């Protein structure tokens, strides 16, 4: 699989098979991913992996968690303007429509949202933390790291779903891993093999056309 094929085939998988992922494969992918671009070579990512028995342990810990949560950050800006607002709501409406969940069916929509916190059934996952000292430039490094991992996973016939939703549960996740208070939870990443029979995995997101966001400066004659 070449890079273009990996980019085109990668998508967020929201239903995984009960099929184990070897730790050795995850380690290999993370080692390769460490070559991701990083300003000043800071390499700000801190990765905590759960797989197999530790995934079960994590789910048990989460089910018993009763303390209040403090979101790590706002996932979306307030008063989101166009065209971003339309993009956000269209992708949600299209996905729920595929699943046969009506807009007014809040209960079923909420049930689908809660599957985030089960990693959509994935047998493995990691959490990406970053030192609170780091700023927006280093957050962009995290994005490049995560994208590189997802593309390398595609090359290995492994599926993923990056999940910022875990930032809403940073207290619980941080407590489970006993991480230093200087670390902030940026996101989670579900890792596994997609269920080809689940309709949600047939969902295809759209992208705005190139002319909407790419601008080529035209050379003008003197």
Q: What pLDDT, on a 0 to 100 scale, did the predictor assign at position 219?
A: 77
Query: pLDDT (tens digit, 9 = 90+) per residue, 104-160?
Result: 888 988 899 899 999 999 999 999 999 999 999 999 999 999 999 999 999 999 999
Range of the domain at 31: 3-67+118-203
Residue 217 lies in a domain: no
Q: What pLDDT, on a 0 to 100 scale, did the predictor assign at position 222?
A: 60
Peptide bond into 83 cis (omega under 30): yes
Residue 185 lies in a domain: yes
Residue 97 lies in a domain: no
Q: How many domains does the chain have?
A: 1
Residue 179 lies in a domain: yes
In whole angstroms, what is the distance from residue 110 CA to residue 101 CA? 11
Stretches where the chain sits below pLDDT 50 are none
Residue 216 lies in a domain: no
The gap from C-alpha 57 to its chain's centroid, in whole angstroms, comes to: 21
HEC readout, 86-125: HHHHHHHHHHHHHCCCCCCCHHHHHHHHHHHHHHHHCCEE
Residue 24 lies in a domain: yes
In whole angstroms, what is the distance from residue 79 CA to residue 75 CA? 12
Q: What pLDDT, on a 0 to 100 scale, did the predictor assign at position 177?
A: 98
Can you give the pTM of this predicted structure?
Answer: 0.93
CATH classification at residue 13: 3.40.109.10
In whole angstroms, what is the distance from residue 146 CA to residue 37 CA? 11
User: Six-digit token pair at 14?
Assistant: 């929201």
Residue 90 lies in a domain: no
Q: What pLDDT, on a 0 to 100 scale, did the predictor assign at position 164?
A: 96
């Amino acid at each position: 699989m070449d890079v273009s094929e990996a980019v085109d085939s990668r998508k967020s998988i929201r239903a995984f098979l009960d099929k184990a992922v070897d730790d050795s494969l995850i380690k290999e992918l993370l080692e390769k991913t460490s070559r991701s671009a990083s300003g000043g070579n800071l390499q700000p990512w801190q990765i905590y992996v759960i797989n197999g028995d530790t995934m079960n342990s994590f789910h048990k810990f989460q089910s018993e968690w009763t303390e209040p949560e403090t979101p790590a950050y706002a996932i979306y800006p307030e008063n989101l303007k166009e065209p971003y607002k339309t993009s956000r709501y269209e992708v949600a409406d299209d996905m729920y429509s595929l699943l046969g969940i009506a807009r007014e069916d809040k209960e079923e929509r909420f049930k689908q949202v809660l599957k985030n916190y089960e990693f959509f059934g994935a047998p493995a996952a990691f959490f990406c933390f970053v030192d609170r000292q780091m700023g927006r430039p280093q957050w962009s490094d995290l994005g490049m790291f995560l994208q590189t991992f997802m593309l390398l996973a595609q090359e290995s016939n492994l599926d993923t779903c990056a999940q910022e939703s875990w930032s809403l549960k940073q207290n619980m996740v941080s407590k489970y891993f006993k991480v230093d208070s200087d670390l902030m939870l940026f996101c989670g990443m579900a890792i596994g093999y997609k269920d080809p029979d689940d309709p949600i995995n047939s969902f295809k997101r759209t992208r705005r056309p190139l002319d909407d966001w790419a601008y080529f400066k035209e050379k003008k004659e003197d």
